[in-house]
Structure 1
C-alpha cells in the first residue's frame, strides 16, 4: 500500500497552512513529483546530509523537515556545494523533500505547542496571536510554581538530549509559574514575553547583548536551549499525525539524529 505525494502534501498544508508562514520564509515541496508513490516517510528538523543518509538507508521516499533547504533561494543546484550535493542525492535516490517552517511554528498543534507541552505547560495561548489558537510562541502556566533551578532541570530532562545542553539566566531560587516559549531563535520575542508577564522565557540561540540587557531589566528569566532541541518535539507529533491519517499506507519514522552543529560543551573545570 502507498499514497501519492500530493495527498500527503494536501494533509500537511491543512495542518500547517502556508498562509501562516512569514513573508521571508520558504515552505512547501523542495524536490519530488506530486504523483510519486510514497510508503515510507522520515520526519526531521533539518534537511542535512545525515538525515538524507538515514532516509536512503531506510528506503524512505519522502523527508518532511521543519527547516527549509534554501531559505534565501538559489540560482544553482550543481553538486559543487553541500546543498547542491544533497539535492542531487535526493533526486538520484527518488526522495522527495517537503518542509513546514514558520507556518508549523504558528499553527495550532505545531512547533510552539509541542514545545510548551514538552516542558509541562497548561492553559497555553499564542504569545503573539494571529487568531485564538495560532501565532508565534506560546505562553502558559505550570501546574504549580517551582524554583527556576528546578524548572530548568525539568526542561533539560524533557527536551531531547544534545551535547550543548541548556543555559539558564536568572535567580535559580526564584519562584516561577508563568512560562513563555518559542522554538528556535527567540531574541525578537523578548519584549513580548515581558509584556505578557512571563516569569521565564524559553527559546534558542540567544545572543549575548540582547540576553544581558534583557536580564538587567528583570524578568522573565531565560532558558536558552539549542535550536534543534527546542524544535524537535514537533517531529514525533508530525509523525503521529501522518501515521494516523494514512494508517495502512504509510510507515513513518521520527528521526532522532541530533542535527545541532555542536558536538560537545566543555565546562571551565574540564579545561585543566
Structure 2
C-alpha cells in the first residue's frame, strides 16, 4: 500500500507541475504525505458534491483537473463553499491533488483524451511545446478522420460521444461541409484560432467560444475561403474524458509497483448549466422585428 507521497510523485511524473502555466495553481492542496492510499477518485471539478462522493466512496485521494483555489485566498472557513470542501476533505482524511494546465500539455494529455473519445486519429500537437524534442507535447491536437464526413455528422458524433450536457454542441459552418481534419482542444480554446488556421484544420472542436473571437473566425473563413468550421461543446464535457485516461494511467503504475490501488472516475455532472430552452430557427428573421 503506497503512501500519499509515493502516489503524488507518480502523478507529478505524468504531469510535471513545472509545465503548468505561471498563473495556474496545481499540486497537492491538502493531505498527509505519509498517509496510506487505497482508493483514488478522479473528477474534473473539486466541488462539494464531488468531495461528498469521495467520502462516500472511501477514497483516500481525490484528483481533479480544475484547481480549488485558482487565485489566492485568505480563508478556508467553512462558511465559504470552497472552505467547506477543504473541511470535508480534511475531516475525512481525503487528500486533494490538482493537475490542470500541466495535464493539458502532457503526452498523453487532456486533448488526447478528447480526441480519443471521438475516435479521431492524432497527427500531432496543435501548439507544440518548444521544450519537447520529440514534438509530442503541447496544447491541443491536430487529428484526421478515418473517412471524410460532413460537419453535421461530426457534430452528431461529438454529441453522442461526449458526456451529455444542457448545452450540447453548438456549430458554426455549413452543415454539409466535408471535414477531413479536426483540431481539438479540451477546455477553453478560443485563444488558439491563429494556430488552428495555421494548421489548416477543416474544423475546430473546443469549449467556451466567445462571441467576438468566434465571429472573427467565421468572417475570416467566409471572406478568405479557408478557415475552420467551429464546434463548441461544454467545458466540462471536453475535459471529462481525461479523468478516464488519468485513472487508466494510474492503474498501470499501480500494477507495475504492486500497489493494488483502486481507481474510480466520478460520473457526477458538474457542468454549471442545468437546462437548455431551444429558440426559434436561427436562420429566420427575429420575431416581431420590422422587415
Please report the TM-score for the alignment, with normalisation by the length of structure 1. 0.96
The match for 2:24 is 25
- Give the secondary structure class of the aligned counterpart of 1:63: strand
- Helix, strand or coil for the counterpart of 1:34? coil
**Residue 124 of structure 1: how far off its partner (Å):** 2.3
SS of residue paired to 1:262? coil
Moved over 4 A (4+): none
1:178 to 2:177 alignment? no
CA contact 2:46–2:66 (8 Å) conserved in 1: yes
| Aligned equivalents of 1:41, 1:58: Cα separation in 2 | 9
- Find the counterpart in structure 1 of residue 288 from structure 2: none
Q: Secondary structure at the match of 1:124?
A: strand
- Could you tell me which residue of structure 1 aligns to residue 11 of structure 2? 12
1:218-239 CA-to-partner distances (Å, cap 9, x unmatched) read 1201000101100011111111
Report the counterpart of residue 253 of structure 2 in structure 1. Answer: 245
Q: 2:235 aligns with which of 205, 227, 239?
A: 227
Quote the residue 2:82 is aligned against.
Answer: 83
The structure 2 residue matched to 1:192, chosen from 195, 198, 201, is 195
Distance 1:134 1:241 in 2: 17
Equivalent pairs counted in the alignment come to 268
Deviation at 1:164, TM superposition (A): 1.9
Q: Which runs of 5 or more residues in structure 2 are unaligned?
A: 222-226, 281-291
User: 2:65, 2:49 → 1: CA distance?
Assistant: 15
**Inter-partner Cα distance in structure 2 for 1:44 and 1:123:** 24
Separation (CA, whole Å) in 1 of partners of 2:88 and 2:178: 51
The aligned residue for residue 118 of structure 1 is 117
2:274 aligned residue: 263
By how many angstroms is 1:91 displaced?
0.6
In 1, Cα distance between the equivalents of 2:193 and 2:16? 26
Cα distance in 2, alignment partners of residues 213 and 176 from structure 1: 20
CA RMSD of aligned residues (A): 1.1
Unaligned 5+ residue runs, structure 1?
A: none
- Deviations, residues 63-121 of structure 1 (Å, cap 9, x unaligned): 00001111112121111210011111111111100010000001001101111121222
Matched with 1:74 is: 73
8 Å Cα contact 1:124-1:140 kept in structure 2? yes
Cα distance per residue 1:193-227 (max 9 Å; x no partner) = 01110111111011112111210111201000101
- Please say if residues 116 and 124 of structure 1, whose CA atoms lie closer than 8 Å, have aligned partners that are also in contact: no
Residues 141 and 178, structure 1, Cα contact 8 Å, conserved in 2? yes
* Number of the residue aligned with 1:93: 92
User: Partners of 1:124 and 1:84 in 2: how far apart?
Assistant: 43
Q: What does residue 283 of structure 2 align with?
A: none
The offset of 1:158, in angstroms, is: 1.1
Which is higher, the Rg of structure 1 or of structure 2? Answer: 2
For the pair 1:209 / 2:178, whether they are aligned, the reply is no
TM-score scaled by length of structure 2: 0.90
Instruction: Write the distance in 2 (CA, Å) between the matches of 1:119 and 1:195.
Output: 23
Q: How far apart, in 2, do the equivalents of 1:174 and 1:166 lie? A: 16
